[in-house]
Amino acid sequence: MAKKIYHVTLGERTYSEIKKLIQTGQVKPGQRLRYNDLVIKLGVSQTPIKEAFTRLESEGLVVNIPRRGAMVRQVSVKDVREVFEIREMLESLASSLTARNARDEDITKLTSINERFKEASLLKNVKECIEEDCYFHELLYKFSNNDKLVHLMIQSNLHLLSIAESSPNFFEISHQYYQHHDNIIKAILARNEVQAEHAMRDHIHYSKEQILAALSSATTYQISV
């Protein structure tokens, strides 16, 4: 289910839409981002697209190759290990703080997102799975009520590295993700900060191993939650 964004500038909307194309694997790692294609697809001029490319390049999602243009950045084993070292620290903290600070309606929202994630998995809808997974993790940062932590998430895009669309066991992995999310939610609902932190660490460890396995078998995957 697409998330509606209100009161945003054309530049912000363009950036968000291009990032979503990368997140959901509609544009693959190593694939060129063509101005003309995006002008038609997004219904905007080249100016906001160029600005979005610059922003995405600063975030490490896009690289600008001389005489070739903008391309979705490839992800290496080193990238995965480094990202997950930091994700483990940041997201375990976010989960702990969310257990402390989240409102009841926030927890209800996390539960709804996870159920939509499960439904998308049962329907074999990879794109929807990835979008809901991204949204779940983004809201965990938001509900931590720590603006600095949210800024780190946005600035680094560390929350974007996730499961692989083309992994042969994608939906088995997504089932485990659902269970992990559910464990995190239960700890938050119980206001158990320590358990929420531990549940997130377990989730991050599992995610890292799945991505490394996909990468080692040369399975292509995209940057996403």
87 & 154 share domain: yes
Q: 10 Å Cβ neighbour count for 146?
A: 16
Q: How far is CA 2 from the centre of its chain?
A: 14
The string of pLDDT tens digits covering residues 103-121 is: 999 999 999 999 999 999 9
134 & 208 share domain: yes
Total domains, the chain:
2
The whole-angstrom separation of Cα 87 and Cα 129 is 20
Q: Which tokens is 171 given?
A: 């939906």
Q: Which amino acid is at 192?
A: N
Angle, vertex CA 157, rays to CA 225 and CA 199, nearest 5: 50
183 & 108 share domain: yes
Lowest mean pLDDT among 7-11, 30-34, 129-133, 199-203: 7-11
Asked if residue 1 belongs to a domain, the reply is no
Q: Which amino acid is at 27?
A: V
DSSP 3: P
Asked if residue 151 belongs to a domain, the reply is yes
Q: According to the model, what pLDDT value does residue 224 have?
A: 41
The string of pLDDT tens digits covering residues 83-95 is: 889 889 999 999 9
Asked if residue 168 belongs to a domain, the reply is yes
Range of the domain at 185: 77-216
37 & 101 share domain: no
Q: Which tokens is 101 given?
A: 């600070």
CB 83 within 8 A of CB 161: yes
Q: According to the model, what pLDDT value does residue 105 have?
A: 98
CB 196 within 8 A of CB 180: no
68 & 87 share domain: no
CB 71 within 8 A of CB 62: yes
CATH number where 38 lies:
1.10.10.10
What is 152-187 written as a DSSP string? HHHHH-GGGB---TT-TTHHHHHHHHHHHHHHHHHH
Q: 10 Å Cβ neighbour count for 186?
A: 15
Distances, alpha carbon 61 to alpha carbons 64, 72, 93, in Å: 10, 6, 24
Place of tokens 């976010």: 94
CATH number where 93 lies:
1.20.120.530
Residue 18 pLDDT > 90? yes
What is the chain's mean pLDDT, rounded? 86
131 & 83 share domain: yes
Find which of 11-15, 74-78, 170-174 is predicted with most confidence, using mean pLDDT: 11-15
Asked if residue 4 belongs to a domain, the reply is no
The string of pLDDT tens digits covering residues 146-205 is: 999 988 887 665 545 554 555 667 888 899 999 999 999 999 999 999 999 999 999 999
Q: Which of 51, 72, 93 is the last residue of a domain?
A: 72
Q: According to the model, what pLDDT value does residue 156 have?
A: 61
